[in-house]
Amino acid sequence: MRIILLGPPGAGKGTQAKKLAESLKIAHISTGDILRQNVKEGTTLGKEAKDFMERGLLVPDELMSKMLSDRFSQADIKKGFILDGYPRNFAQALTLEEIFKQRNLDVDMVVYLDSSDAVIIQRLSGRLVCSTCGANFHITNMPPKKNGICDKCSGSLFQRTDDKEETIKKRLEVYKNEVSSLIKYYQDKNKLYRLVADGDAGIVLNEIVALTKKLHDSLKV
Ligand code: ADP
Ligand code: ZN
């Protein structure tokens, strides 16, 4: 199964993608996670991307193209993948299509997780991330069992520097400017499935799983 997740920051793409990748045994490709790893390691890419990320802006397309094409040259994508955080604008959708063409791949479904602004801001401003395994928690919606400690690996939890209210608003604005062209693009290809993702993470996950099953069955006949 090859899935693209679209949706605003805070729609729960990361949370859902991690769970789906585990249950479907496919690769999880999160461009945000790859970038943050590069920033942490101080790579050239990380140094170039850091400032854009902290301001809530998109990292330039050329940097992203190179990063994505490197990621798609790794063997694990053969078992299928869930792409979370890319494409984010129309040019990136075209780049992705090129990468797919070169590798004889096609996407099976594009799941558009939609959320209202109020929910997004509430989720992002309370989000906590594990510094070791990357798992997401939320101060009130999904609190860790022990304060500041990851349930899964006991790593310490932190708040992302771009999860400040002002940066959240900027990220939302950037997202809204770009998303309609992507929605149209995948709708025209008959690949787009929209889900309202304001509810509980478990409910949204069940809905996505139901969609993948339906699609899987229809591909078999
Ligand atoms: P969110 O979707 O919650 O904003 P991500 O973790 O997906 O968070 O991305 C964090 C930041 O990384 C973005 O604000 C942006 O600066 C950068 N980034 C991630 N993916 C892309 C992309 N496809 N193109 C450009 N920048 C990206
Ligand atoms: Zn952890």
Taking the centre of ligand 2 as the mean of its atom positions, its distance from the CA of residue 115, in whole angstroms, is 26
Q: Whose CA is nearest to atom 23 of ligand 1?
A: 86
Residue 149 located in a structural domain: no
Query: What are the pLDDT digits (tens) for 98-146?
Result: 999 999 999 999 999 999 999 999 999 999 999 999 999 999 999 999 9
Residue 137 located in a structural domain: no
Residue 157 located in a structural domain: no
Q: What is the pTM of this model?
A: 0.90
Pocket of ligand 1 (CB under 6 A): 9-10, 31-32, 35, 52-53, 56-59, 64, 85-86, 88, 92, 162, 171
Residue 135 located in a structural domain: no
Distance from CA of residue 199 to its chain's centroid? 18
Hey, which bits of 17-141 come out as E strands? 27-30, 81-84, 109-114, 127-130, 136-138
Sequence-distant (6+) residues with CB within 8 A of 127 are 10, 136, 137, 138, 159, 160, 163
Strand partners, 27: 81
Residue 191 located in a structural domain: yes
Angle, CA 64 vertex, CA 62 and CA 65 arms, to 5°: 65
Structural domain including 206 reads: 2-116+169-220
- Annotated active-site positions, please? 13, 88, 127, 160, 171
CATH code at 12?
3.40.50.300
Query: What are the pLDDT digits (tens) for 209-220?
Result: 999 998 888 876
What is the C-alpha separation between 175 and 89, in angstroms, rounded?
9
Residue 163 CB coordination number (10 Å): 20
Mean pLDDT value across residues 17-45: 95
178 backbone dihedrals φ, ψ, rounded to 5°: -100, -25
First vs last C-alpha separation in the chain? 16
Our count of domains for the chain comes to 1
Give 138's Cβ-side CA count (13 Å radius): 17
User: For residue 216, what pLDDT is reported?
Assistant: 81
Model confidence band, residue 10 (pLDDT cutoffs 50, 70, 90): confident
- Contact between 182 and 192 under an 8 Å Cβ cutoff? The reply is no
Model confidence band, residue 200 (pLDDT cutoffs 50, 70, 90): confident
Residue 221: pLDDT above 60? no
Residue 124 located in a structural domain: no
Taking the centre of ligand 2 as the mean of its atom positions, its distance from the CA of residue 160, in whole angstroms, is 15
Tell me the C-alpha to C-alpha distance, in Å, between residue 131 and each of 115, 118, 159, 164.
26, 27, 10, 18
The closest ligand to the CA of 127 turns out to be 1
Taking the centre of ligand 2 as the mean of its atom positions, its distance from the CA of residue 154, in whole angstroms, is 6
Nearest-atom index, ligand 1, CA of 88? 23
What is the C-alpha separation between 196 and 113, in angstroms, rounded?
6
Residue 22 located in a structural domain: yes
What is the C-alpha separation between 126 and 143, in angstroms, rounded?
10
**Residue 149: strand, helix, or coil:** strand
Residue 206 located in a structural domain: yes
Query: What are the pLDDT digits (tens) for 51-101?
Result: 999 999 999 999 999 999 999 999 999 999 999 999 999 999 999 999 999
Tell me the C-alpha to C-alpha distance, in Å, between residue 109 and each of 6, 66, 137, 210.
11, 24, 27, 13
- Mean residue pLDDT of the chain comes to 94
